[in-house]
Amino acid sequence: MSIAEVAAKAGINRNTLNALELGRPGVALGAYVTVLWALGLDKSLDSVADPDADAHGKTLEASRRPARVRKSKQSKSEYDF
């Protein structure tokens, strides 16, 4: 597909598509999604925000959990509650 065809199918301007290809920060996320749809690659977005596939995020979450402050006391008597 040519640049003009992809831009027309995605409903964006050719300049926006060019900026998207160059990785410019001003391009809206919706433009990326519509271009992926126009190219038939929109199914690859299913794993983008999958929390089960984010090992780094799970590691960060585990490091932010509070640590146990003190150990539980062992009872001196078996009848002590």
pLDDT at residue 45, rounded to an integer:
82
Q: What share of the chain is helix, strand, coil (3-state, %, to 5)?
A: 55, 0, 45
Query: Does pTM surpass 0.75?
Result: no
Taking 50 as the pLDDT cut, the residues of the chain under it are: none
Instruction: State the residue range of the domain holding 34.
Output: 1-42
Nearest to 38 by CA among 19, 17, 65, 60: 17
Q: Let me know if residue 63 belongs to a domain.
A: no
| Cα(41)–Cα(22) distance, integer angstroms | 19
Q: How confident is the model at residue 72, as a pLDDT?
A: 67
**What pLDDT score was predicted for residue 81?**
60
Query: Is 7 within a domain?
Result: yes
Mean of pLDDT over the chain: 86
Structural domain contains residue 17: yes
- Using only C-alpha atoms, the chain has a radius of gyration, in whole angstroms, of 26
Q: How many domains are there within the chain?
A: 1
- Residue 40 is which amino acid? G
